[in-house]
């Protein structure tokens, strides 16, 4: 086993960090306070190639392999202090673009992927509903075939990127009651279609620079050519892409953990109390040491998923472990940073309270930690341990 990065990966990592530090998140405090999507930073990311990292060159992307994509995303999370911007990028890539990459026709890829890579289109995943979050099979949005269109009716909630998105991957019910897994289909739905209404914007505890909202479909006529895969395959498509979301969405978390660790070490080394640095007290030192332990273990499981996906192998178990461990570890790292900094950590001026607010969403989105542990239990052979597949 060789755990070292290639020279090309190391060079890319340094390039991404330098770009993120110099070009992104300059006004993150204002953006967080005003819940403002950073359009300029989004465009800079597009120009740098971020929005096309995993997309093949022939579709306008950078063509990075899965492990190299993870390395780049980790570097982005380390260098960029606007966690909301990074989260918006994650939703764009792993909630929308990956569906096209895995299941889109050549026509669909040609139509959507290049403008998604160059930032002209913002993607989103419209999955959760007011009464269906983790219970994906319980969704009520319907799509009824009418000639060469599907008529879409229903409403999706908690759609990250929703208020700004140009194209949605929408799961809807197309089949009659029966085997629930065969009743769902996936569609590419553009925001400019008549009957598509970005009806509501939600305020959030954290990740405020990622807009979140509701999208209502009122007799929206979606061309049949926008069906992803075959009718009735929506649940299997969803299951085939969650490996990407559960791990790759959280790659930037590992970078953010490292940034928070370095911040905590620096402060604990320079802040004196009772005539000595606070880092010399075990109560402080041990908390920081625990962050380092979690960081290294998070990186190992994350890279393992990248290694598996680069070889075309299944990674559901590893991706599920990564989702739970990395998201919960970032919460611990952010909470530690706040506590180490004491009153300063609690003040908005230092930005650490924002890091904690941002981190708290991780154990919830892309499938709650409770659902993920149920998935793991079932993968271990404990049948009936989980009733849902994961969702917001």
Q: How far is CA 190 from the centre of its chain?
A: 21
**Closest Cα to residue 364, out of 316, 330, 314, 338?**
330
Q: Which residues are catalytic?
A: 245
Give the DSSP letter string of 351-374.
SHHHHHHHHTTTTTTTS-HHHHHH
Helix (H) / strand (E) containing 191: none
At 162, give phi and psi (nearest 5°).
-50, -50
Counting beta carbons within 10 angstroms of the beta carbon of residue 104, is it exposed (0 to 12), middle (13 to 18) or buried (19 or more)?
buried
Counting beta carbons within 10 angstroms of the beta carbon of residue 379, is it exposed (0 to 12), middle (13 to 18) or buried (19 or more)?
middle
| Rounded distance between C-alpha atoms, residue 325 and residue 304, angstroms | 14
Tokens of 90: 């994650």
- CB environment 332-354: b (16+ within 10 A), e (fewer): bbbbbbbbbbeeebeeeebbbbb
């Amino acid at each position: 086993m060789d755990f070292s990065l290639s020279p090309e990966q190391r060079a890319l990592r340094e390039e991404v960090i330098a770009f993120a530090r110099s070009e992104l998140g300059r006004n993150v405090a204002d953006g967080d306070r005003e819940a403002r999507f950073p359009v300029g930073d989004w465009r800079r990311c597009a120009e740098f190639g971020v929005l096309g990292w995993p997309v093949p060159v022939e579709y306008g992307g950078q063509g990075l392999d899965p492990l190299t994509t993870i390395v780049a995303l980790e570097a982005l999370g380390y260098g960029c202090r606007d966690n909301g911007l990074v989260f918006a990028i994650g939703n764009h890539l792993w909630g929308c673009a990956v569906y096209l990459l895995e299941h889109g026709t050549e026509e669909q890829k040609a139509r959507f992927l290049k403008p998604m890579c160059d930032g002209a289109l913002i993607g989103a995943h419209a999955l959760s509903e007011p009464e269906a979050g983790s219970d994906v099979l319980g969704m009520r949005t319907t799509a009824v075939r009418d000639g060469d269109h599907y008529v879409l009716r229903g409403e999706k909630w908690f759609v990250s990127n929703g208020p700004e998105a140009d194209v949605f991957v929408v799961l809807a019910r197309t089949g009659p009651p029966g085997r629930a897994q065969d009743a769902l289909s996936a569609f590419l739905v553009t925001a400019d279609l008549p009957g598509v209404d970005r009806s509501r914007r939600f305020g959030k505890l954290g990740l405020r620079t990622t807009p979140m909202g509701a999208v209502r479909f009122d007799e929206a006529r979606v061309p049949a050519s926008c069906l992803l895969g075959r009718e009735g395959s929506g649940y299997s498509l969803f299951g085939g892409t969650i490996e990407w979301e559960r791990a790759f969405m959280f790659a930037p978390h590992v970078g953010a953990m490292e940034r928070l660790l370095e911040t905590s070490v620096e402060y604990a080394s320079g802040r004196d109390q009772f005539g000595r640095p606070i880092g010399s007290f075990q109560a402080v030192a041990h908390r920081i040491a625990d962050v380092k332990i979690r960081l290294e273990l998070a990186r190992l499981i994350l890279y393992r998923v990248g290694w598996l996906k680069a070889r075309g192998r299944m990674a559901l178990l590893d991706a599920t472990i990564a989702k739970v461990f990395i998201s919960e570890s970032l919460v611990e790292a952010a909470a530690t940073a706040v506590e180490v900094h004491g009153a300063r950590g609690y003040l908005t001026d230092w930005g650490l309270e924002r890091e904690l607010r941002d981190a708290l969403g991780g154990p919830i989105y892309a499938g709650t930690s409770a659902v993920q542990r149920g998935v793991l239990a079932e993968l271990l052979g404990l049948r009936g341990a989980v009733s849902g597949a994961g969702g917001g």
